[in-house]
């Protein structure tokens, strides 16, 4: 982690372990390391929705990565700044992150479209039935599945919209967790 990209810092001073999940980036610090067990201390998490990334390089940080969030009003707020250990690590991490951001943004688009369709259906009474919609129950539309709205060929699975890891972030992840790390989705920065 780079607190200030315009000032140098000692190598490894703010070393972080970054875990990339399907819709969330989790930043941790190694709390304790044993032979086969590593304990991480949670630092921060960032949802990938509306996240943007900028690469930078200066005399202090050769492989810099800035993560930004779109703020209402069009401005982008810097979330966190990293410096990868090598060009290869930066390329691998940014490639995985770009792919995850694109997937999350596509899922968010489908979620919003689905909600809009649901609301349109609730507001538009069916003419074949006086005073209400044909499929309504207690004034609300009967629940239709996402497979009906988006064909099976669209690649959207029913559980995809409810598989958010942001719930962990919102609920508050305990300060220290134990995990065995794998090389996929994990980067030491």
Task: Indicate whether 35 belongs to any domain.
Answer: yes
Q: Are 37 and 179 in contact (CB under 8 A)?
A: no
Average pLDDT over residues 75-101: 94
CA–CA dist 9, 108 (Å, integer): 38
In this predicted model, what pLDDT tens digit does every residue of 118-155 receive, in sequence order?
888 877 665 555 554 444 444 444 444 444 444 444 44
Task: Indicate whether 36 belongs to any domain.
Answer: yes
Task: Indicate whether 117 belongs to any domain.
Answer: no
Domain count, the chain: 1
Task: Indicate whether 82 belongs to any domain.
Answer: yes
Largest alpha-carbon pair distance within the chain? 74
Q: 88 pLDDT exceeds 50?
A: yes
Q: Are 122 and 141 in contact (CB under 8 A)?
A: yes
What percent of the chain clears pLDDT 90, i.e. is strictly above it?
Answer: 46
Q: Is the pTM of this model over 0.85?
A: no
Domain that holds residue 52: 17-102+167-188
Task: Indicate whether 93 belongs to any domain.
Answer: yes
CATH number of the domain that 50 lies in? 2.30.29.30
Report DSSP state, residue 28.
E
Helix (H, G, I), strand (E, B) or coil at 68: strand
Task: Indicate whether 137 belongs to any domain.
Answer: no
pLDDT of residue 68: 95
For 170, the enclosing helix (H) or strand (E) is helix 166-171
Q: 8 pLDDT exceeds 90?
A: no
Task: Indicate whether 63 belongs to any domain.
Answer: yes
């Amino acid at each position: 982690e780079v607190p200030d990209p315009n000032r140098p810092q000692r190598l490894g001073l703010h070393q972080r372990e970054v875990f990339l999940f399907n819709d969330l980036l989790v930043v941790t610090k190694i709390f304790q390391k044993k032979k086969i067990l590593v304990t991480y201390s949670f630092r921060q998490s960032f949802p990938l929705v509306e996240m943007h990334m900028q690469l930078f390089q200066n005399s202090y940080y050769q492989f810099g990565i800035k993560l930004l969030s779109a703020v209402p009003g069009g401005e982008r707020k810097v979330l966190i700044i990293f410096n990868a250990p090598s060009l290869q690590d930066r390329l691998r991490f940014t490639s995985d992150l770009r792919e995850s951001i694109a997937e999350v943004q596509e899922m968010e688009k489908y979620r919003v479209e689905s909600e809009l369709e649901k609301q349109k259906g609730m507001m538009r009474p069916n003419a074949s039935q006086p005073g209400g919609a044909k499929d309504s129950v207690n004034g609300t539309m009967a629940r239709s599945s996402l497979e009906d709205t988006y064909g099976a060929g669209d690649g959207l699975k029913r559980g995809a919209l409810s598989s958010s890891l942001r719930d962990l972030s919102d609920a508050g992840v305990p300060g220290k967790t134990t995990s065995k790390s794998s090389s996929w989705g994990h980067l030491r920065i």
